[in-house]
Structure 1
Amino acid sequence: MDPLIPATRSPYHFFSAAQWATFRGREALTLTEDEIRRLRSVGDAIDVGEVERIYLAVSRLLYAHVESSQSLFRQRKRFLRGSDQARTPFIIGIAGSVAAGKSTTARILKELLARWPGTPKVDLVTTDGFLFPNAVLEAEGLMQRKGFPESYDVAAILRFLSDIKAGERGVQAPVYSHFHYDVMPGESVTVDQPDILIFEGLNVLQVREMPRDGKVVPFVSDFFDHSIYIDADIADLHRWYVARFMRLRETAFREANSFFHRYSLISETEALTVAERLWTEINARNLVENIMPTRPRADLILRKGGNHLVEQVALRKI
């Protein structure tokens, strides 16, 4: 993953995709090709072969961590002499750049984990809903920094995750519409004591400056039991982003009520110029300044090649 650090000194074990595929064990694939097509995002190349090769083993690893966490909870309960503390959800954070395939990974893992023995209850929430509404971003001059750390209501994210970890019932999460490119007022999803929560977003592994007085200032990742980073070369992410933009220009952007409808009315050359500008001025800057620096904090790194398929897996040593 990092050519400057010898594998023997790295905090990670590194595996090729072929090596990683052997860790799926005897688990059978329970997702159909139609389901995978429904779950994948525009431009993502994931198929049955990729799920079998990479994601079955990932789900098996995650489920082993979930079982270990539940066992530790039972041991701690005995240690505390029968404490009535409720078991808390196992939270998985998924981070990575725009166009890396975070959403597809999150949806695939949600379905795979829910089909393990005991059919655990698995919920998925994205950080998009915790963006400040466009009206607030415009008032604060942050519309051109949408997706940067300062564009999120971090306090609301921390309250949400704190309630989840406290085992609260009926915790509400705001809803974001990519069609309208805004948080939807009055809309929410309810997370009600799941066994597993997948929390996906650009900056979920982000850290802040430490307080000088030693006061507790939690990071979002403090609530995670396991974290995954979806990695790829910047050149590939750039190419995937532009290709996705141009594809959406021919599909979702054609809807009259779409926030980006205006981009379907200009020429292909003009649209390509817009996509390149959005990548260079916003997404590439956010990636280099805020997202990529969080990669070493992940427990599992899935590195994709130019074909959008995982070619290497890095697993943190324990």
Structure 2
Amino acid sequence: MQFEPPRDIVKKIEQVAQNRARVLVAIAGPPGAGKSTIADALAASLRDAAVLPMDGFHLDNDTLRELGLLHRKGAPQTFDTAGLYALLVEIQKGGAVSVPTFDREADCVIPDGGQISADTHIVLVEGNYLLLDAPGWADLQGFWDMTVAIEVPLEELEQRLVQRWLDHGLSKADAIKRAHENDLRNARLVTDQSVMADVTFRQESDDI
């Protein structure tokens, strides 16, 4: 069954987008919260909207290996925040903009893998740390015309994150270890250190 985004959030974005040439909406939440599903559903419910995933700004594995951070891939310090900032400057100006995407199967960034077209009115930027109150990430706050936070109970997140690694072929023990040693640490960081959003979507159960 296709996920239907909350109508009040759709209406709020439509209101914010009135009389503006291009609108940037941040959709933030912990790993496993369903950000991409919600962002895609919102884009389908809005006119002239496109999704920009933050995942296109992962640092490459060789760089992370050199920095000793490969085991923490997905943590705030493993993203190119300066690159994301520079791209948002270009997107805010209007016009067509090429954007990087992330290939999960190959575990690598595809430069110019996607595009924000010239007629895109609403850009839905989705990612874990878009509202994080931390160096580099806090600099992004000036771009957002509206912010949406997704909240999911920690127990539900744990189940989703373990299942994600099981789906990638890890054993149950390794999936649990990977979820606890990295993903759930990042989830707690998002919950504890993000600024308040304009709108919060709380999931009481696994609705996505």
Q: Same fold (TM over 0.5)?
A: yes
Q: What is aligned with 1:195?
A: 121
Deviates more, 1:295-304 or 1:231-240: 295-304
Letter in structure 2 aligned against 1:195? H
Q: What is aligned with 1:280?
A: 180
Q: What is aligned with 2:66?
A: 139
1-structure distance, mates of 2:37, 2:126: 10
Q: What is aligned with 2:17?
A: 66
Give how far 1:179 is off: 0.8
Normalising to structure 1: TM-score of the pair?
0.61
2-structure distance, mates of 1:170, 1:136: 29
1-structure distance, mates of 2:138, 2:9: 27
Q: What is aligned with 1:15?
A: none
Q: 2:24 aligns with which of 73, 81, 91?
A: 91
| Unaligned ranges ≥5, structure 1 | 1-32, 37-45, 74-86, 115-120, 211-216, 254-262, 264-270, 311-318
What value does the CA root-mean-square deviation take over the aligned residues? 2.1
Q: What is the correspondence of 1:152-231 to structure 2 with a 5 Å cutoff? A: 152-167=79-94, 169-184=95-110, 186-193=111-118, 194-209=120-135, 219-231=139-151
Q: What is aligned with 1:106?
A: 39
Q: What is aligned with 2:207?
A: 309
Letter in structure 2 aligned against 1:64? Q
Q: Secondary structure at the match of 2:129?
A: coil
Assess if the C-alpha contact under 8 Å between 1:92 and 1:197 holds in 2.
yes
1-structure distance, mates of 2:143, 2:69: 27
Give how far 1:146 is off: 1.1
Give how far 1:145 is off: 1.5
Is the counterpart of residue 292 in structure 1 residue 196 in structure 2? no
Decide whether aligned partners of structure 1 residues 208 and 218 sit closer, same or farther in structure 2, where only a CA change above 3 A counts.
Answer: closer
Decide whether aligned partners of structure 1 residues 294 and 197 sit closer, same or farther in structure 2, where only a CA change above 3 A counts.
Answer: farther
Assess if the C-alpha contact under 8 Å between 1:93 and 1:221 holds in 2.
no
2-structure distance, mates of 1:93, 1:127: 10
2-structure distance, mates of 1:139, 1:279: 23
Q: What is aligned with 2:155?
A: 235
Letter in structure 2 aligned against 1:206? L
Cα deviation digits, residues 257-310 of structure 1 (max 9, x gap): xxxxxx3xxxxxxx1111111111101111223x112454211111112x3139
Quick one: higher RCO (CA 8 Å, sep 6+), 1 or 2?
A: 2
Normalising to structure 2: TM-score of the pair?
0.90
Q: How many residues align?
A: 207
Give how far 1:99 is off: 1.2
Q: Secondary structure at the match of 1:219?
A: helix
| Unaligned ranges ≥5, structure 2 | none
Q: Secondary structure at the match of 2:36?
A: helix
Cα deviation digits, residues 4-62 of structure 1 (max 9, x gap): xxxxxxxxxxxxxxxxxxxxxxxxxxxxx5xx2xxxxxxxxx4xxxx2xx522321221
Q: Secondary structure at the match of 1:139?
A: helix
2-structure distance, mates of 1:136, 1:295: 26
Q: What is aligned with 1:57?
A: 8
Letter in structure 2 aligned against 1:285? R
Cα deviation digits, residues 156-196 of structure 1 (max 9, x gap): 100000111122x3322112101111113x54212133200
Assess if the C-alpha contact under 8 Å between 1:175 and 1:188 holds in 2.
yes
Q: Secondary structure at the match of 2:123?
A: strand
Decide whether aligned partners of structure 1 residues 187 and 209 sit closer, same or farther in structure 2, where only a CA change above 3 A counts.
Answer: closer
